[in-house]
């Protein structure tokens, strides 16, 4: 029987998991999803995620490709998978997509949001979903630095070692905004792609700009250096959440 190609939309709280990708000796989101698929379909199907996520990183929106010979309708499959999945992972939608669709390679952009809890008192309810900083943050300085990262640049200085070797470290950032709501400061980054720990390093660099350890005007030179040591520290994973995955309409169109 010919297999259908399905797109599964997920959201998950990443606290208990060592990222999406299957790990040999640690729980992952992919392993939990494959366990649920096997329980529902009776076979352990191969799946393709839209990206790797680090241990402790969350997703409000995550895309997965699944090829299956099962004839279960998308809505029925969604319900069955949610009944089999742990409470910190949910399938928010299932749709039929063209045979050449791939969750990773068909993607044209993603948006991440990093949450800082900025105030004297920590919040236990946000402990696994934010980075607590007591000292005041200078959002004006941070945004001035962020603006210098907009557009297409070589982001090698913001990439941690250990990531997949790529031919190019150039990426295009289309949005890098910093907004405060009470004690919460949210840093939103949209780009056509991201390097390993790139967002977390951008956040750490912006915090160092706020603290006065770096000047906003230093960002172009940091980019030009292509040297990880020139950028700021890598912010903790818990504050990071993938909130949007984008595909061109033709990649999802059937018929």
Catalytic residue among 35, 54, 128, 192: 54
DSSP single-letter state for residue 18: S
End-to-end CA distance of the chain: 20
Count CB neighbours of 41 within 10 A.
17
> Would you call 126 helix, strand, or coil by DSSP?
helix
- What is the widest separation between alpha-carbon atoms in the chain? 63
Q: Is 54 a catalytic residue?
A: yes
The dihedral sign for the CA sequence 209, 60, 42, 83:
positive
**Any long-range contacts for 167-174 (C-beta under 8 Å, 24+ apart)?**
169/195, 169/226, 171/195, 171/198, 173/149, 174/109, 174/150
What's the gap between Cα 27 and its chain centre? 18
State the catalytic residues: 54
């Amino acid at each position: 029987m010919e297999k259908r190609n399905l797109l599964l939309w997920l959201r998950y709280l990443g606290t208990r998991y060592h990222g999406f990708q299957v790990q040999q000796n640690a729980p992952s989101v992919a392993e939990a999803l494959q366990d649920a698929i096997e329980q529902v379909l009776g076979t352990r199907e191969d799946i393709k995620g839209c990206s790797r996520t680090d241990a402790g990183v969350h997703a409000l929106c995550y895309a997965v490709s699944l090829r299956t010979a099962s004839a279960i309708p998308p809505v029925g499959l969604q319900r069955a998978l949610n009944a089999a999945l742990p409470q910190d992972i949910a399938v928010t939608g299932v749709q039929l997509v063209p045979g050449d669709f791939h969750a990773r390679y068909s993607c044209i952009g993603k948006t991440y949001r990093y949450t800082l809890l900025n105030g004297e008192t920590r919040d236990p309810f946000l402990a696994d979903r934010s980075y607590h900083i007591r000292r005041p943050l200078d959002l004006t300085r941070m945004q001035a630095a962020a603006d210098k990262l907009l557009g297409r640049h070589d982001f090698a200085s913001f990439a941690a070692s250990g990531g997949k070797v790529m031919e190019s470290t150039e990426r295009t950032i289309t949005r890098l905004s910093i907004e405060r709501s009470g004690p919460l400061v949210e840093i939103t980054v949209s780009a056509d792609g991201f390097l390993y720990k790139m967002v977390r390093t951008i956040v750490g660099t912006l915090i160092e700009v706020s603290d006065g350890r770096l000047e906003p005007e230093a960002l172009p030179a940091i980019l030009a250096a292509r040297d990880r040591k020139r950028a700021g520290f890598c912010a903790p994973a818990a504050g990071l959440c993938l909130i949007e995955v984008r595909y061109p309409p033709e990649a999802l169109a059937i018929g």
